[in-house]
Amino acid sequence: MSHNPHSQEGVESVTILGTGPAGLTAAIYAARANLKPLVAEGEQPGGQLTITTEVENYPGFADGVLGPELMANFRKQSERFGTRFIQGNVVKADLAKRPFTLEFADGRVVKTQTLIISTGASAKWIGLPSERKLLGKGVSSCATCDGFFFRNLDIAVVGGGDTAMEEATFLTRFAKSVTVIHRRDTLRASKIMQEKAQKNPKIKFVWNAAIEEILGEKEVEGVRIRDLVKNETYDLPFKGVFVAIGHEPNTRLFQGQLKLDAAGYLLTEAGSTRTNIPGVFAAGDVADHVYRQAITAAGTGCMAAIDAERYLESGEA
């Protein structure tokens, strides 16, 4: 692949937002195309895989690999070909004028001819004031990060999907009991994960239950539940509450500038990573609510780098 013939003084050719599998794969490909990509690390360097343990379905690792180790290798590989990194978060993006302008929290400004958005998705919250107040004081969204703190305690997991089943099963390693609290009477999770959780003697289920409040002043003491069938409330005691109700895409910066779907995911043209603004591309979970896998994120990251390179070659920038 050739060097961008249209490079401009003080303007980046390719800037990539995010350092999960999508962003770092885009970086590897853009760097190997001699585009010297600049990568903004984002809020959670390495992305969601840094808060998992064993990854068993990433092809090429027959015996599995630890998430953080996999991401460290992605990064090393991208650095080998000249990727540069910039720490921190972008707080403003102006995509109306070319080159595009990105402003970081500390005031630094980056101008770029192309932008690859791979900012991923973050855990969703119920949205209760008490949940926010007790975050880190018994409320968590990451069993692999915080499960250890709940040794021999009773904890609750909120949600009925695969994430909730996975978190609940994992937490039984530490907890005395795990209670899955779900708003309906059937789970959304895949059969295999449901069965695994239902067979686990430490896991109980509370059905048709909406959390109205997380109880406790300085730390979690329980939850107030509304029984959605009887329309009554009751309290259950817990020392920890793990919220596992899905994810939302990190697209706030681009609202009003790029086309998003109803759930806030970036929309791309079918079969490409192009957004509605030429020169802006999207890869990974930020544009994917269907597959959400490390391998699919890496695949679209590769596509985005190739799309960006072709765009620069076309002279449109």
Q: Which residues bind ligand NAP (CB under 6 A)?
A: 126, 158-164, 166, 183-184, 188, 190, 245-247, 292
- Residue 11: enclosing H or E segment and its boundaries? none
291-295 long-range contacts, Cβ below 8 Å, gap at least 24? 292/121, 292/247, 293/57, 294/20, 294/21, 294/49, 294/55, 294/58, 294/70, 295/21, 295/57, 295/58, 295/59
- Picking from 14, 29, 11, the residue whose alpha carbon sits closest to that of residue 117 is 14
Query: From the CB of 270, what's the least distance to ligand NAP, in Å?
Result: 21
Q: 14 with 289: CB under 8 angstroms?
A: no
Residue 145 annotated as catalytic: yes
For residue 132 the two structure tokens come to: 């926010």
Of 63, 94, 106, 146, the active-site residue reads: 146
Q: Which residue is nearest to ligand NAP (CB)?
A: 161
In angstroms, give the least distance from the CB of 56 to ligand NAP: 9
Q: How far is the CB of 212 from ligand NAP (least distance, A)?
A: 11
Q: Please say whether the dihedral angle defined by the alpha carbons of residues 33, 57, 296 and 17, taken in this order, is positive or negative.
A: negative
Q: Which is nearer to ligand NAP, 104 or 125 (CB)?
A: 125
| Catalytic residue (choose from 145, 185, 235, 261) | 145
DSSP 294: H
Decide whether 41 or 227 has the Cβ nearer to ligand NAP.
Answer: 227
Question: Taking the CB of residue 216, how many other CB atoms lie within 10 A of it?
Answer: 20
Amino acid in the structure at residue 72: A
Of 16 and 71, nearer to ligand NAP (C-beta) is 71
Which is nearer to ligand NAP, 39 or 171 (by Cβ)? 171
- Could you tell me the smallest distance in angstroms from the CB atom of residue 162 to ligand NAP? 4
| 146 among known catalytic residues | yes
Q: Report the nearest approach of ligand NAP to the CB of residue 27 (Å).
A: 25
173: CB partners within 8 A, 6+ apart:
147
Residue linked to tokens 């909730």: 164
Specify the residue, 27 or 193, whose C-beta has the smaller distance to ligand NAP: 193
The residue from 94, 142, 154, 227 that is catalytic is 142
Active site residues: 142, 145-146
